[in-house]
Amino acid sequence: MADRHTTEKLLEGERLSGKVTLFAKVTILPGDELPYHEHHGETETYHILSGEGMYQDNDKTYPVQAGMTTFCEDGSGHAISCLGEEPLVFLAMIQKKAE
């Protein structure tokens, strides 16, 4: 089965300045998810553009929708899934933790 989500990198290489390692638009189709994963030495922010989803922040889960922003701390984990009939679309940014 093909992936039911896409990641479109909006900036790459030198344009990211070395501190930001990912700046992308992510689209998750209904019924799909980005599974739980942890971040070490970096943080990740999602800004929801459209659709509805369920966000897992370590052991807490809550609904997300357009206009909301999530933040995964260094050393923490998160997951996100698409709810409803419309794709969940958000900006994702991974940033290295300051040394």
State which H helix or E strand residue 59 sits in: none
54 or 98: which carries more pLDDT confidence?
A: 54
Predicted local distance difference test score (pLDDT) of residue 1: 41
Q: How many CB atoms lie within 10 A of CB 75?
A: 13
Predicted local distance difference test score (pLDDT) of residue 21: 85
Q: In Å, how far from its chain's centre is CA 45? A: 6
Q: Is 90 exceeded by the pLDDT of residue 33? A: yes
User: pLDDT category, 13, cuts 50, 70, 90?
Assistant: confident
Q: Is 80 exceeded by the pLDDT of residue 17? A: no
Tens digit of each residue's pLDDT (9 = 90 or more) over 43-97: 999 999 999 999 999 999 999 999 999 999 999 999 999 998 999 999 999 999 8
CA dist 40 and 78 (Å) reads: 12
